[in-house]
Amino acid sequence: MFNNGWRKPSDVMSNYLDRIGAGWILANPEVFNFDYVPDELVGRDDVQNELASKFTTIHSPEGSGRVVITGPVGSGKTTLAQTFCRDIQRHLANKRNIRSVHVNCRNASTSMRVVQRILHELAPGHPDRGLSMGELLMSLRRILRQETSHLIVVLDEVDHMLRLSGDDLLYQLLRIDEDQSGKGTLSLILISQEQVLDVLETAVISRMGSTNHLRVKPYDVEGLAAIATQRAKMGLVPGTWTPEIIRILAEKAVPTGDARRVIELLNAAVERCEFRQDAHNERRLIIDDIHVPLNREPTTTGSNLEHIDDLNPNAMLVLLALCRRLTKQETMTTGDVEQLYAVVCEEYEQKMKSHTTVWKYLKDFEERQIISSRVATITGGRGRTTHLSMPHFLPKDLASRLEMLLKKKF
């Protein structure tokens, strides 16, 4: 007896839930969490070297360090501190017992809560209530002396604590070795988006050292590409992504310079690729996947198709040539542009503009953030060529609008 395509509700549910955990593209989802700390921090070699220089004496039994790390959101401040603490513990494992505690002052926003968090990490059974700040600090000294440990305290988003409790705790931590035998008990790393040195008292600045300020800049496109490549290698099935795709994701994220942004864009592209999978789809990231919109997509000059409406008709022809190629592949060279432009001019029965004019159009497209360019060495090391991509538009959507506009103009 035929069922006319009818299936039991349980069959339908099992089929659509089969996608969960299928892993056609995604192999390790953990690496796309913002809290994930990779084994190696990429794109920050210069900053890592500068941070290490603030702790040149930490290998000594009485050595310590202190630093204030500032920078915009997503510049890798927290990961920088976390990887440093982990790596220095490994590096000095046979020389000195080093422990580290990371406290987010957004969650522990008073000086009392910060010290309680530090003690809880060092001694989980230590009482949280009923002790004064002085008693808590004495407990901290006692624990460190008993264990002969050197403690690195990382106070993340420290500006939240400073607003509510001031900087007295910082002063007390920096003086923790006073009236004690020996020194070098504690190192301090402060992290903030703001220039916290401006709000600290002179006595605290003097002990921190006004030169111990490490400014972290936003990531550039190379740094963002390195981060996305690292996550792709760790988190995706081999053969499901290309360096060109990763580069476009980095170019999309570079206006913010935010590492979280490029990780979010990569994760969204993977989700889109997994979603569209069926027996007829290529199991790899494609252009359509990386242009999937995000709810928090920032407003940019490339965020709407009307941005091209004021181009002159000849510039539109050049851009149409670009779009048609970039619909099928991630990048193209400037040499490809002129060849395809010739085909488009023939299609619209228009005379080609000169090489210089085409080059000016390309520079204008880049200034409008319609395309991005990068210069790379030709395979074999002979000469260099410019590669063009379109990180902020879906090429086929742009091509459709151009064809509509050109139909009216010609």
Cα 240 from Cα 269, distance rounded (Å): 11
The CATH class for the domain spanning 305-409 reads: mainly alpha
Cα 91 from Cα 87, distance rounded (Å): 6
Give 106-147 pLDDT, tens digit per residue: 999 899 999 999 999 998 888 877 788 889 998 998 888 888
Domain boundaries, the chain: 9-33+220-290, 45-215, 305-409
Residue 101's CB is within 10 A of a number of other CB atoms, namely 17
Q: Which residue has the tokens 């963002």?
A: 224
Task: List C-alpha distances in Å: 57 to 52, 93, 162, 276, 377.
Answer: 10, 15, 28, 55, 43
With cut-offs at 50, 70 and 90, classify the pLDDT of residue 301: very low
CATH architecture of 45-215: 3-Layer(aba) Sandwich (3.40)
Cα 188 from Cα 276, distance rounded (Å): 49
Cα 352 from Cα 347, distance rounded (Å): 11
> For residue 345, what are its two tokens?
């001019």
With cut-offs at 50, 70 and 90, classify the pLDDT of residue 299: very low
Direct distance between the N- and C-terminal alpha carbons of the chain, in angstroms, rounded to an integer? 60
Q: Which residue has the tokens 């959507």?
A: 397
pTM: 0.76
CATH fold for the domain made of 9-33+220-290: Helicase, Ruva Protein; domain 3 (1.10.8)
Cα 293 from Cα 265, distance rounded (Å): 9
Give 219-266 pLDDT, tens digit per residue: 999 999 999 999 999 999 999 999 999 999 999 999 999 999 999 999
| Whole-number pLDDT of residue 12 | 47
- The pair phi, psi for residue 64, each rounded to 5°, is -155, 175
Q: Higher-confidence residue: 21 or 368?
A: 368
Give 345-371 pLDDT, tens digit per residue: 999 999 999 999 999 999 999 998 899
